[in-house]
Structure 1
Amino acid sequence: MTFEEVFNRVIKFMKIKPTGNYRLMIGTDSQVHSKTTVFITGIVIQHAGKGAWACIRRSVVPRKMLHLHERISLETTLTEEVVSMFSEDKKNRMIDIVLPYLYQGATFSFEGHIDIGSGQRNKTREFVNEMVARLEMIGVEPKIKPDAFVASSYANRFTKKAGKYTPT
């Protein structure tokens, strides 16, 4: 799908019930395979308590990326890239769907999910401040584990099987 097709699906999903509570969430996960590193970026529009629509974007680096900071940084970059495709005009179009229904409880939020955690046993904890600041600078609400489920669960499940395919 092109980005325009993805955006139109998001709009269509939100218009079904404009009085809903919507969360647009973007997150990336990676998996090192034998000769490649596969990155999957998930794009999810969730209608709280009522379901979601989602899709993925696949990127392949033709080498094993073994340095954790490099992988986490590229995951964040790929998330930022997709977030940036949602221009001010596109964000305003999504907000305009729920705006007439704010007093009826309608909401819209835009989140960037980062597959890192601040727990003492988490190897990625030293990168939390850096990656969170990057997403805040582009105007998206950063989420880390355990709240970053688009990266840590949704995208993650596609990184495992993605290595079975030849890079394009």
Structure 2
Amino acid sequence: MRQSPIYNIPFQNIQEKNMSFEVVFNHIAEFMKLNPAGNFRLMIGTDSQVHKKHTVFITGIVIRQVGNGVWGCIRKVMIPRRMTQLHERISYELSLTEELVSMFTEERKNQLIEIVLPAVYQGATFTMEGHIDIGIGKRNKTSEFVKEMVARMESMGVEPKIKPNAFVASSYANRYTKNE
């Protein structure tokens, strides 16, 4: 299987730059190992911003132990044109999210599940969510795309979240799209 060039785009956060996906995955596993009896949510989402001559897409990966902290990082993709068509931009955001979700292969997901498995009867959990920067409100321009985008996430076996519950896309990733 040939990997697309997008697999080589590095991740970063405040502490580290130029992280490979392998390094990111190891950070997630180590975070979970700190308290294997926790309730963990692995959340992935993308947001975009159209600038004068390009469009920036930021995809965030966040592992959250409910009530006990988070670890996260982002990955930036720049398209050298203004993507002004909303459906195209939302669809590309989701494609970037899907690409990262697919990097969490069954083998990798099982590695993470194995961390919490010994504590399942004490209430430990692990879920994976795809955060989509769309909403269903009447005034929300993206509401017509909800069914399509939610179905795409569900087809990957990931729990879809839309606004206001899609905070990795609408809040975490969003704050990094503005810096240009």
Number of equivalenced pairs: 162
C-alpha separation in 2, matches of 1:116 and 1:160? 18
SS of the aligned residue for 2:170 comes to helix
C-alpha separation in 2, matches of 1:98 and 1:5? 20
- For residues 94-153 of structure 1, give each alpha carbon's deviation from its aligned partner in whole angstroms, at most 9, with x where no partner exists: 000001101111000000000000011100000000000001001100000000000000
Which residue is equivalent to 1:141?
159
TM-score, normalised to structure 1, is 0.96
Question: 2:110 matched to 1:100?
Answer: no
- For residues 23-82 of structure 1, give each alpha carbon's deviation from its aligned partner in whole angstroms, at most 9, with x where no partner exists: 000000000000000000000000001110000010000000000000000000000000
Which residue is equivalent to 1:127?
145
Which residue is equivalent to 2:133?
115
One-letter identity of the residue aligned with 1:71:
R
RMSD of Structure 2 on Structure 1 (CA): 0.4
Which residue is equivalent to 2:176?
158
Higher RCO (CA < 8 A, seq sep 6+):
1
One-letter identity of the residue aligned with 1:10:
I
Which residue is equivalent to 1:78?
96
TM-score, normalised to structure 2, is 0.90
Aligned pair partner of 1:18 in 36, 44, 51: 36
C-alpha separation in 1, matches of 2:120 and 2:29? 17
C-alpha separation in 2, matches of 1:36 and 1:99? 45
Structure 1 segments unaligned to the other structure (5+ residues): none
Which residue is equivalent to 1:66?
84
One-letter identity of the residue aligned with 2:154:
E
Aligned pair partner of 2:106 in 52, 72, 88: 88
Q: 4+ residue runs of structure 1 moved beyond 4 angstroms?
A: none
C-alpha separation in 1, matches of 2:49 and 2:59? 12
SS of the aligned residue for 2:67 comes to coil
Same amino acid, percent of matched pairs:
69
- Cα deviation for residue 84 of structure 1 reads 0.2
